[in-house]
Amino acid sequence: MRHAGERRVGIVSEDGQSIAPIALSVEEAAHGVAALIGKDPAALETLSPLPLSEVELEAPFPRPFRNIFCVGKNYHAHAREFSRSGFDSSAAQGEVPAHPIIFSKVPETVVASGTPIIIDPAISEAIDYEAELAVIIGKEGRGIRAEDAMDYVWGYTIVNDVTARDLQGRYSQWLIGKSQDTFCPMGPFAVTADEIDISDTAVTTWVNGEERQNANTRDLIFDVPTIIATISAGVTLKPGDIIATGTPEGVGVGFKPPKYLRDGDVVRIDISGIGTLENRVTERRP
């Protein structure tokens, strides 16, 4: 968050009306929630609470240290709808993948809740939304066993894996279509791992008030321990790494005709126990 021109990290009150800044140095606070990873929660000193209405919320990780790891086609119904879309370069695996499909988004895609998603019709006219639960890694690990994976999780947040579908299909890989500027809204908050039950967490998306996605994390094809084990098999995960776990059925490309995002649309994503991420779509002007 920002208050009086300074970046701070704070703890939101249970009623959601105020936020208590944590006593961190300017250098630590610059990293957002990453500054808390590895610290003893009981040892954190908080300052006088501020009304939430008086602060500017930023993404929990204003600039992640590394690319955001992402999982494709990880809900059964979405895997089927995307395989039928014509943009699925992984279709050779079949509708439901046998192994997790891993790709990434560059750190500069991250924006806060309330910040515009900028679309450029000269580049793409097939912009889609994807609501996702994101895992925050809390300690370094490589070759992590699935049965140990949850010990490496610090917490969770929400991301919108905004995607240019035509670019995704054109280049037969997903980095460019997923990594356009502003294509990873994140937040509004991060919660510690004990705050939610990710085996039974609701994920809902509305566009202009119309419900588009309504699912539960129990519908994941590959659960969080499997995802962590897959990525860490040869790739060292580090504190502050973020893993987006996949989106459920109901993305724009799944409709006939597709319901892509347009100038002025408002995307609202709610994940139980975390909060509501909301962003307006704004067309880039020449």
Contact assessment for residue 153 and residue 136, using Cβ atoms and an 8 Å cutoff: yes
Under the banding of pLDDT at 50, 70 and 90, the label for residue 172 is confident
| The CATH number of domain 68-283, selected from 3.90.850.10, 3.40.50.720, 3.20.20.10, 3.20.20.80 | 3.90.850.10
Strands (E), 90-187: 101-105, 110-112, 117-119, 127-128, 131-137, 153-160, 163-164, 184-186
Q: Which structure tokens are listed for 102?
A: 């891993």
Contact assessment for residue 113 and residue 160, using Cβ atoms and an 8 Å cutoff: no
Say which range, 11-25, 93-107, 243-257, has the weakest mean pLDDT: 93-107
Rounded to an integer, the average pLDDT of 248-277 is 96
Instruction: Quote the pTM value.
Output: 0.95
The confidence score (pLDDT) of residue 251 equals 96
Q: For the segment 174-187, what is each residue's pLDDT rounded down to a tens digit?
A: 999 999 999 999 99
The confidence score (pLDDT) of residue 242 equals 98
Q: What is the percent of the chain with per-residue pLDDT over 70, rounded to a whole number? A: 95
Q: For the segment 195-249, what is each residue's pLDDT rounded down to a tens digit?
A: 999 999 999 999 999 999 999 999 999 999 999 999 999 999 999 999 999 999 9
Phi, psi of 210 (to 5 degrees): -90, 125
The confidence score (pLDDT) of residue 87 equals 59
Q: For the segment 88-103, what is each residue's pLDDT rounded down to a tens digit?
A: 555 555 678 899 999 9
The domains of the chain are located at 2-54, 68-283
Rounded to an integer, the average pLDDT of 146-161 is 98
Torsion of CA 197, 11, 206, 88, to 10 degrees: -60
Phi, psi of 82 (to 5 degrees): -75, -35
The confidence score (pLDDT) of residue 86 equals 61
More confident residue, 169 or 229: 229
Instruction: Give per-residue burial for 72-104: e unless 16+ CB within 10 Å, then b.
Output: bbbbeebbebbbebebbebeeeeeebeebbebb
Q: What is the mean pLDDT of the chain?
A: 94
The confidence score (pLDDT) of residue 169 equals 86
CA gap 95, 84 in Å, rounded = 8
CA gap 160, 267 in Å, rounded = 9
**What is the residue-wise DSSP string for 210-255?**
EEEEEEEGGGBSS-HHHHHHHHHTTS-B-TT-EEE----S--GGGS
The confidence score (pLDDT) of residue 90 equals 58
The confidence score (pLDDT) of residue 183 equals 98
